[in-house]
């Protein structure tokens, strides 16, 4: 939620940035909604839910409250967009379904990797060993993408971002035609508007670097310097891009000029005595009073009383209301819609992308090898503390009281920094939480997902990486554990399509990893 003060302190600014990210994440989590009702990313009326007392997944019709395909899926379904969704099966591959027949798969042959469908009725998928392809709602191929395309996002507003083997990003249209050549170091989706944030090739980092904003034909609308603006979330929402300037948040319009924040309602909220608020894409405000959430309109008229532990909008007229851990569906007046009670809801399109069905295992092993040396892994050494990595913190200290890890991505690798202590503490009872800046990194895990590739891909990567570790100063001690003269160690393993490397800052802490192959 947005901090209610217009000139935040450094601490408040961090909270503000976190809340802006969380606001975007909630929109992605509940990727739904009639575009007639506001600036939602997709038009859909269904959500995957896990009902109370069940360990399986069902589909909830948010318009009627009816439960479809009750307890039909062992794995969590993707976002339901344009009535289509995909689910991982027992073999680790993916099948597509339509809500008109929610337990009958549409495709004949399962896919190794798959994105959700878009409002345009297309998705991106690949079969193991094959290239990426754009498919229609009957799961018929529209076009195979060139074999040098390594991964591709789902479609947003008629465009999907793709990455080539040389690491550069561009965009294709629904026919699979290249409309913007691969020339960017990173490319974000046209999520809420016909503008997208990109980072030019050769610039370090991602959204922290200098960035440009382009239209759907690749024309640059403006270029901004990271020394002046730092991006909070890399997508336009309500027609603006929120950025940090100095110690304040400002908004950039489509031409790069600073404009008023359309989501700002702090004066009305202050007058009403609410602690926090966040604007929904439909123009209402989720507010917090006495620790409970409710809903008001733009004139601050109460729509839903502040009585819920959490309230998240799904559409302009549907909300997930949470008491303790139990969720229910309510309308804009807080009235129950259906009688379903659930504990989990899913509809995430965050980082929704498909990968090519084959991998150069030698290149993958070499890329993992570049991440480490006897002295460090992914930039962390035995002396690295949270203070050294504070730029990776995305929220207030309260969010990190029970956490001991920070997670980032580097290309196809998921990197987790594991600390020897919690990332935040409460110094004395009743005092506010504080970051534990002295916490040291104890280990780093690097994970590579190759489930979309052939069945022996993870074994091949680990074997090639093991053979090459001697060139980086590591010696095999047994059971896939390698030690260095610097006192560090690492372990290699795999688990049903995931290549895993665990780097220990102290060799005494090292232990083997499992090696579980796919069947």
pLDDT in tens, 27-68: 334 433 333 344 566 766 899 999 999 999 999 999 999 999
- Which residues make beta-bridge pairs with 169? 163, 184
230: Cβ contacts below 8 Å, ≥ 6 apart: 207, 208, 243, 244, 245
Report whether pLDDT(135) > 90. Answer: yes
497: Cβ contacts below 8 Å, ≥ 6 apart: 92, 449, 450, 451, 453, 457, 458, 518
Report whether pLDDT(384) > 90. Answer: yes
Compute the average pLDDT of residues 474-503. 96
Report whether pLDDT(171) > 90. Answer: yes
Nearest residue to 444 (alpha-carbon basis) of 483, 407, 402, 481: 407
Q: Can you give the pLDDT at residue 413?
A: 92
Report whether pLDDT(272) > 50. Answer: yes
pLDDT tens string 332-375: 999 999 999 999 998 666 668 999 999 899 999 999 999 999 99
Model pTM score: 0.78
Report whether pLDDT(203) > 60. Answer: no
Most confident range (mean pLDDT) of 200-209, 269-278, 350-359 is: 350-359
Tell me which of 142-151, 268-277, 411-420 is least confident: 268-277
Report whether pLDDT(71) > 60. Answer: yes
Residues 171, 197: Cα–Cα separation, whole Å:
12
Walk me through the domains of the chain, giving residue ranges and CATH numbers: 77-259 (2.130.10.150), 359-516 (no CATH)
Report whether pLDDT(240) > 60. Answer: yes
Q: Which residue has the tokens 């019709």?
A: 61
Nearest residue to 192 (alpha-carbon basis) of 141, 153, 161, 156: 156
Residue 251, CA distances (Å) to 137, 241, 258, 264 in order: 38, 5, 6, 11
Q: Can you give the pLDDT at residue 483?
A: 97
């Amino acid at each position: 939620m947005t901090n209610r003060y217009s000139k935040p302190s450094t601490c408040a600014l961090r909270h503000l940035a976190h809340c802006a990210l969380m606001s975007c994440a909630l929109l992605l989590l509940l990727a739904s909604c009639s575009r007639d009702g506001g600036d939602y990313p997709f038009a859909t009326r269904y959500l995957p839910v896990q009902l109370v007392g069940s360990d399986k997944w069902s589909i909830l019709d948010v318009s009627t409250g009816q439960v479809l395909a009750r307890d039909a899926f062992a794995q969590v379904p993707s976002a339901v967009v344009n009535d289509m969704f995909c689910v991982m099966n027992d073999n680790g591959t993916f099948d597509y379904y339509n809500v008109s027949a929610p337990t009958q798969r549409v495709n004949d042959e399962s896919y190794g990797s798959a994105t959700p469908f878009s409002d345009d009725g297309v998705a991106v998928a690949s079969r193991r060993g094959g290239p990426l392809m754009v498919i229609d709602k009957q799961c018929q191929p529209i076009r195979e993408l060139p074999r040098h395309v390594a991964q591709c996002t789902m479609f947003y507003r008629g465009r999907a971002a793709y990455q080539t083997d040389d690491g550069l990003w561009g965009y294709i249209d629904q026919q699979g035609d290249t409309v913007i050549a691969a020339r960017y170091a990173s490319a974000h989706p046209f999520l809420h508007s016909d503008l997208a944030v990109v980072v030019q090739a050769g610039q370090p980092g991602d959204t922290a670097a200098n960035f440009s904003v382009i239209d759907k034909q690749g024309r640059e609308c403006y270029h901004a310097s990271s020394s002046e603006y730092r991006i909070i979330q890399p997508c336009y929402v309500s027609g603006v891009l929120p950025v940090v300037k100095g110690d304040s948040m400002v908004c950039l319009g489509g031409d790069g000029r600073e404009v008023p924040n359309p989501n700002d309602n702090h004066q009305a909220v202050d007058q009403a005595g609410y602690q926090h608020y966040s604007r929904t894409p439909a123009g209402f405000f989720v507010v917090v009073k006495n620790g409970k959430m409710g809903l008001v309109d733009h004139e601050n008229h109460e729509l839903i009383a502040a009585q819920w532990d959490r309230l998240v909008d799904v559409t302009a007229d549907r909300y997930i209301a949470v008491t303790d851990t139990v969720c229910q569906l309510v309308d804009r007046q807080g009235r129950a819609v259906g009688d379903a009670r659930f504990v989990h809801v899913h509809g995430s399109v965050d980082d929704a992308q498909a990968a090519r069905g084959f991998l150069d295992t030698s290149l993958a092993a070499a890329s993992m090898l570049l991440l480490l040396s006897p002295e460090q892994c992914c930039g962390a050494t035995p002396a690295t503390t949270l203070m050294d990595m504070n730029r990776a913190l995305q929220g207030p200290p309260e969010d990190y009281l029970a956490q001991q890890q920070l997670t980032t991505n580097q290309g196809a690798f998921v990197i987790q920094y594991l600390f020897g202590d919690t990332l935040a503490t409460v110094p004395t009872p009743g005092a506010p939480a504080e970051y534990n800046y002295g916490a040291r990194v104890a280990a780093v895990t690097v994970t590579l997902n190759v489930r979309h590739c052939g069945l022996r891909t993870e074994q091949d990567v680990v074997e090639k990486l093991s053979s090459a570790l001697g060139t980086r100063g590591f010696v095999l001690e047994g059971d896939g554990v390698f030690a260095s003269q610097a006192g560090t160690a690492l372990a290699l393993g795999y688990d049903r399509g995931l290549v895993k490397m665990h780097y220990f800052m102290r060799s005494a802490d090292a232990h083997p990893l499992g090696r579980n192959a796919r069947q």
